[in-house]
Structure 1
């Protein structure tokens, strides 16, 4: 039990470090919702296939809010990071950035790519340094 909790905490730290690298400010409510969404997706990638029906309601219940507010806060966090974040990090993660003229990723794309990166880094033993 303690080992599982420690692993979850370590995964949360990695997610937080990467989100900060993407330029998501920690003072945004969407930062916490997004971190929770990625953490859930890391353990069950099926959730990414239906964020509005499966993922947002879980987060809304945990934070005692509505799924509409969860969606909006995450979208705002994604927009802020897209505008202010490091384009090179976006290029590495998504294969495009605002500098290439690409539209910003959707909430589900954003959640899926971060979750996939965290999962792949865990299998290769890589850690995100921040």
Structure 2
């Protein structure tokens, strides 16, 4: 989780946004569910709402706020994380998928330095190509 929070903070999102915690937790859930489709409205939002004693609608709105802030204030880093130029603001699901892939891959690279092994991961259901 520390790496997830680090990446989110580098994008200009701080704990003053409720979505800061929701995004971090959603990215963590996505990494744990690697290889399975992201069902954000069926799985992620309800779990976050229960955990943080909120509603799915509020969770969705607060994550969308984070995406908007990143899009308006730090688009260059968002494109770096995506790995390609973004022509439009990512959806919540695309945003979470991009962050999950980025965090997982940077963690893999760090682990590979010590182990010498590589692995491929497929985050299904996201927008990464």
Please identify runs of 4+ aligned residues in structure 1 that moved more than 6 A: none
Question: Which stretches in structure 2 are left out of the alignment for 5+ residues?
Answer: 112-129
The structure that is helix-richer by fraction is: 1
Which of the residues 42, 48, 52 maps onto 2:41?
A: 52
Please state how far the C-alpha of 1:35 moved relative to its aligned partner.
0.7
- Normalising by structure 2, we get a TM-score of 0.78
Deviates more, 1:88-97 or 1:115-124: 88-97
The answer to whether the Cα contact below 8 Å between 2:70 and 2:78 also exists between their aligned partners in 1 is: no
CA contact (8 A) 1:51 1:108 kept: yes
Scaled by the length of structure 1, what TM-score is found? 0.77
Question: Following the alignment from structure 2 to structure 1, what is the Cα–Cα distance between the partners of residues 34 and 65?
Answer: 23
Of the three residues 55, 69, 93, the one matched with 2:58 is: 69
- Are 2:95 and 1:82 equivalent residues in the alignment? no
> How big is the alpha-carbon RMSD for the aligned residues of Structure 1 and Structure 2?
1.6
